[in-house]
Amino acid sequence: MTVTEPRPAAPAVGGTVLEASGVTMRFGGLLAVSNVNLTVREGEIVGLIGPNGAGKTTFFNCLTGLYKPTSGQVRFAGVPRKAPKPVRPKKGQPAAPAAVQVPELPKLSPLPPKPRAVVRAGMARTFQNIRLFANMTALENVMVGRYSRTSAGALTSVLHGPKFRREEAATRARAQELLDFVGLGRSTEHLARNMPYGDQRRLEIARALATDPKLILLDEPTAGMNPQETKQAMDLIFKIRDSGLSVVVIEHDMRFIFNLCDRVLCLVRGETLVEGTPGEVQSDPRVIEAYIGSGEDDDEDDEDDRPQDITEEGTS
């Protein structure tokens, strides 16, 4: 399964941006992710692969703070995990024995689960299913993403004071810049729901970039794309990397992943099967076995995968 083609040279990889160690996630009796480690450095593109049900999305959700892992730890930009607060005895009650005072709490990610807080921390993500505001223009969709970075309060916004107007103009200008960056500079006033599928995907990326992230996580960015759209998506991700961001990407398209990524982590049944360069991972017989065993066809280009509608859900 050698599918690697010559790829643009990666810039020198810098310090650690994201570090996940021993991440485990249980849903009741089901162990979806088990003791998974991952380090992402500045300027790196890391791929997450694995057959259906391997735990990729669950692990992704642990990285972004959408899920609190059952155990393990996620550090983003060096933010350390907060120590659990000791339980204080109530007034007049004798102090509980030490073992009860500091219960054995599961190690939680320091990443707050609130999406806005995750954005402030410098992470942005896209979802498997497109989540654009269907009846808003491309520009408005990106501006919505940008609002998490503006400071005008509710009163300023209602009064449309000078501060609001200044910020609004800056937000609009930045949104336009991002649309140009992703190649949608001419679609500014198009309603999201009328845009071609590949453009909607790029619009989602522009909206995620509007939060000025250090790291962007893309969940199946090429799902349902035709080969030309897939190539454009790859070029865009290289461009994002070249602008200094780190990228983590989940994909089923092996050719895409092996041509795009600096490093690839392959999960099977919630566990790390192998992690390494695309060359190492694609030649590992265990990876081939895992995919053959799962019956997945990696070169499938099924047009029927295209979602028919985009949802009205907002950024998260």
Q: Give the residue with the Cβ less far from ligand ATP, 59 or 76.
A: 59
Strand 123-125 and strand 215-219: the pairing is parallel
Q: How far is the CB of 304 from ligand ATP (least distance, A)?
A: 16
Q: How far is the CB of 50 from ligand ATP (least distance, A)?
A: 5
Which spans of this chain sit near ligand ATP (rule: CB under 6 A)? 27, 30, 32, 50, 52-58
C-alpha 160: how far from chain center: 34
Cα dist from 122 to 95, 125, 194, 312, whole Å:
41, 10, 30, 25
Q: How far is the CB of 7 from ligand ATP (least distance, A)?
A: 24
Q: Give the residue with the Cβ less far from ligand ATP, 199 or 220.
A: 220
C-alpha 108: how far from chain center: 19
Strand 215-219 and strand 246-250: the pairing is parallel
Q: Give the residue with the Cβ less far from ligand ATP, 53 or 112.
A: 53
Rounded to 5 degrees, what are φ and ψ at 306? -65, 125
Q: What SS3 class is residue 223?
A: coil
Angle between helices 197-209 and 138-146 (to 10 degrees): 30
Q: Give the residue with the Cβ less far from ligand ATP, 214 or 269.
A: 269
- Token digits of residue 12: 């020198």
Q: What is the C-alpha to C-alpha distance for residues 292 and 277, in angstroms, rounded to an integer?
A: 21
Q: How far is the CB of 292 from ligand ATP (least distance, A)?
A: 16
Q: Which residue, among 127, 130, 123, 142, has the nearest Cα to 181 in the 3D structure?
A: 142
Q: How far is the CB of 251 from ligand ATP (least distance, A)?
A: 10
Q: How far is the CB of 261 from ligand ATP (least distance, A)?
A: 17
Q: How far is the CB of 264 from ligand ATP (least distance, A)?
A: 14
Q: What is the largest CA-CA distance in the chain?
A: 72
Inter-residue contact 116 to 211 (CB < 8 Å): no
Q: Give the residue with the Cβ less far from ligand ATP, 166 or 286.
A: 286
Q: Give the residue with the Cβ less far from ligand ATP, 24 or 57.
A: 57
Inter-residue contact 157 to 186 (CB < 8 Å): no
Q: Give the residue with the Cβ less far from ligand ATP, 30 or 83.
A: 30
Q: What is the C-alpha to C-alpha distance for residues 301 and 124, in angstroms, rounded to an integer?
A: 27
